[in-house]
Amino acid sequence: MTLRLPALLAASLRAVSSAVLPRLLAVALAGAVAAPAAAQYAEPVLGRLFTAPEERTRIDRDRASAPMNPVAAAEMAPPAPPPVVEAPPPPPAPVRFTGVVRRSDGRATVWVNDEPRETRLENYRPGGAIPVDTPGGPVLAKPGQSIDPNDGAARDAR
């Protein structure tokens, strides 16, 4: 039997090697080709990224004691804010005198800027001018006129 075992072993090795050997060689060859390519994409070894605390202290001390270049100091300074320019106030809106109602007892309601105001009118004639209070003082105006507060002139409404 011992004679048969080597012969059986040799026969089975021949059968296995004829089927497996080409695959085994292909895998080994692929690994040999891929190894240098994989090494190319491996993470590089950077070494020490940060300084030791003593070295950091020395660097900070040297940086603080070194005189600064005036050009570099100007480049590092934040830009000056733009000057603040205030817009002029808007011109006052014209005052509109839209109408008047006078009662027989002398009391009257005048409408200025569509707001009713109570007043007394003693000598009012229909269609005549009455004093209308404006920011610049009272101005004589007729119903339907607008008063320009800049010059106090009463103009017919458009």
In tens, the pLDDT along 55-82 reads: 888 888 888 877 766 666 666 677 788 8
Residue whose pair of structure tokens reads 């002398």 in the numeric block: 106
Whole-angstrom distance, CA of residue 16 vs CA of residue 10: 10
Number of domains in the chain: 2
Q: Is residue 5 one of the residues assigned to a domain? A: yes
Rounded distance, CA 155 to CA 147, Å?
A: 6
Domain-located, residue 118: yes
Q: Of the candidates 132, 69, 60, 55, which has an alpha carbon nearest to the alpha carbon of residue 97? A: 132
Does residue 108 fall inside a structural domain?
Answer: yes
Q: Whole domain around residue 7: which residue ranges? A: 1-41
Global confidence as pTM: 0.41
The model's pLDDT over 87-146, given as tens digits with 9 standing for 90+, comes to 888 888 888 888 888 888 878 888 888 888 888 877 777 778 888 877 778 888 888 888
